[in-house]
Amino acid sequence: MSTNLKRRSFLKNSLLATSGLILAPNFISCDSDPDIITNPIPSDLDEKNFDLGVASFDPTNSQVIIWTRYSTTNLSAKLTWQLAKDKDFKDLVRQGEVETDASRDFTVAIEVKDLDENLKLYYRFVNVNDKTTSPTGETLTFGSNTSEVKLVVASCSNYASGYFNVYDAINKSDADVVVHLGDYIYEYGENTYGSFRDPDPIGEIISIDDYRRRYRQYRSEKPLMDLHQKKPFICVWDDHEVTNDAYVDGAENHQANEGDYEVRKRSALQVYSEYLPNTTNLTDNTIIYRKLQLGNVVDLLMLDTRIVGRDKQLDYANYTSAAGFDTVAFQQDWLNPSRTLLGAEQKTWFKNEIAGSSSAWQIIGQQVLMGKMLIPAELLSLFGTPQFQVALGELVQIKARLLQNDPTLTQQEIARVKTVVPYNLDAWDGYFAEREEILATFKDKKVVVLAGDTHNAWQTNLVTATGEKVGDEVATSSVSSPGFESFVGAQGAVQLGSALELLIDDLNFSNLVDRGFMKLTVTTGSVKTDWNYVDTVTETTYTTSIKNTLTL
């Protein structure tokens, strides 16, 4: 056996021995020759026991992760993996052997490095002893001569709210890779956030076994399983992969009777790393921020705006009393320069990566809205009341007159539309000073920020406090989680969207009623974003349409 093969064997054994917190066993190959496997692969293979299919993650110009889960009642399973240029696995690029066990829920993730550029690749996993094989997965590498990258952006797939038609539509698209911005699963129990289908387990997920069962339910859905088999994913988590409105040391949807939050978070992130592996620190599964180079067209910078560094969200209720709203105290906290969404370490890393990026475009994959969504303050207290629609109509008329320089407007009327506050303190709007610091780094770059989280589609100008535009934000609707239409009805959501586009200065487009995804076609000269929608998530027969397009 060569020295290189001995070294690879050592890496495999040593990493698997501590697999409890490992994101992806890291199989480093120093040459392009296929590895030696101890047992030849039989010709009479049955496609079974790989019940969740296969998946690939984090493709770049030179590496990719391949994944599967083996269903067995044994204590462990030894699998052979193969990566090839053809579906028949005659033209092998790499192969190897790996063991998995219950400590990682019988999942396997192989990070294959030092690959050639611009490859179309096929991969599979085989249990030689059982003569079983996984489905054949498809993946790729980008390269220095990649002239166009097609990214699909998705988020917020709630099993209880509807079918995954959006995933099926993505699979039928010509996208190269799927960028998933989080809320890949939801933690809630039955009839809590959606009652269309029952989650598994029925109750809210808290333990490591709970989280594993929920992931297995989601991954057993055919549209998602098929999509993973055909297209690589690049993922970050949002809050529901742990629990709602999470921050660095707590969450809105975690109560004292549910045990220690840190234990729950560690369990959730371990299971995330088992099912959605990524090329980050193999010894710390709380670190998910990273850069992926896609050709020389895109530097894709994936951020964690939720778990690793976020200060607890501000809450308007904490500044409201019988005496009214304490504006001074709120502004003092809101504008506090030490408030952070990213945490010091991630922020330093991100600023350095932006400064050093030489790709044509810097695309930021992250969770919550970065654009300023400032609405007239009076609307906050009226939402959900009969007075809301009356006030909204009045404010729209006033803003329209203001834009037309109507000299008859009173100072009181002008104050109604100019006295604005963030409508969502869980987004970047709740971290004003840090956002300004980040926006300053976008100057002289070509930045597009991606966002999910809200279940609604948006497009905003990214503008500094001094009024300078430094980038654009495009935000996707959800896979199945409901948007504003669940509060105000479909027609009400359409009307609200039109009103917000007028009232919010930096907002250019919104869709508050449809479920869907974004497709970004990126070349060195432009980024074209198409907002795609399905017409239903409560029937498995659906149609797809594009309702908005933006070219930068």
DSSP assignment of 175-209 equals -SEEEE-S-SS----TTTS--SS--SSSS---SHH
Q: Give pLDDT tens digits for 266-295.
A: 999 999 999 999 987 556 889 999 999 999
Q: What is the pLDDT of residue 473?
A: 98
Residue with the two structure tokens 């910078």: 301
Residue 455 · residue 516 · CB < 8 Å: no
Half-sphere exposure of 328 (CA within 13 A, CB side): 0
Whole-angstrom distance, CA of residue 388 vs CA of residue 378? 9
Q: Regarding beta strands 298-302 and 361-365, do their DSSP bridges make them parallel or antiparallel, or are they unpaired? A: parallel
- Copy the structure tokens of residue 276: 């959605």
The pair of three-digit structure tokens given for residue 532, joined into one six-digit string: 């795609």
In whole angstroms, give the CA distance from residue 483 to residue 499: 16
Rounded Cα distance, 235 and 248, in Å:
19
Q: For 37-64, how does the pLDDT look when each residue is reduced to its tens digit (9 = 90+)?
A: 888 999 999 999 999 999 999 999 999 9
Tokens of 383: 């939402």
Between CA 426 and CA 482 the distance in angstroms is 18
Domain range list for the chain? 1-141, 378-418
Who contacts 514 (Cβ-Cβ below 8 Å, separation ≥6)?
457, 477, 483, 533, 534, 535, 547
Quickly list DSSP for 326-395. Answer: -HHHHHHHHT-TT--SS-HHHHHHHHHHHHH--SSEEEEE-SS--S--EEETHHHHHTTSTHHHHHHHHH
Q: In sequence order, what DSSP letters do the residues of 137-180 get, joined into one string?
A: EEEE---TT---EEEEEE----GGG---HHHHHHHTS--SEEEE
Helix axes 387-403, 485-503, angle to 10 degrees: 20
The pLDDT value given to residue 238: 98
Give just the sign of the alpha carbon dihedral 428, 433, 434, 438: positive
350's CB contacts (< 8 A; 6+ apart) are: 289, 301, 303, 342, 438, 441
Return d(Cα 376, Cα 27) in angstroms, integer: 54
Q: Which CATH class is domain 1-141?
A: mainly beta
**Residues 155-209: tens digit of each pLDDT:** 999 999 999 999 999 999 999 999 999 999 999 999 999 999 999 999 999 999 9
Distance of CA 97 to the CA centre of its chain: 31
CB 99 within 8 A of CB 16: yes
3-state DSSP assignment of residue 33: coil
Say if residues 444 and 119 touch (Cβ distance below 8 Å): no
Q: Going by DSSP bridges, is the β-strand pair 64-69/320-321 parallel, antiparallel, or unpaired?
A: unpaired
* Closest of 142, 151, 120, 47 to residue 474, by C-alpha: 151
Is the bond into 42 cis (omega within 30 degrees of 0)? Answer: no
Compute the residue count for the chain.
552
Cβ contacts of 105 within 8 Å, gap of 6 or more: 69, 212, 271, 274, 275
Low-confidence ranges of the chain (pLDDT < 70): 1-34, 281-283
CA distance 444 to 100: 47
3-state class (DSSP) for residue 415: helix
Query: CA 226, CA 245: separation in Å to the nearest integer?
Result: 30
Task: Note the pLDDT of residue 1.
Answer: 28
- In the chain, count of helices (H) and strands (E)? 12, 29
pLDDT, position 28: 40
Q: What is residue 36's predicted lDDT score, i.e. its pLDDT?
A: 76
Residue 13: predicted pLDDT: 37
How far from the centroid of its chain's Cα atoms is residue 5's Cα? 36
- How far apart CA 362 and CA 373 sit, in angstroms, is 23
156 is written with which tokens? 């917020």
CA–CA dist 528, 187 (Å, integer) = 34
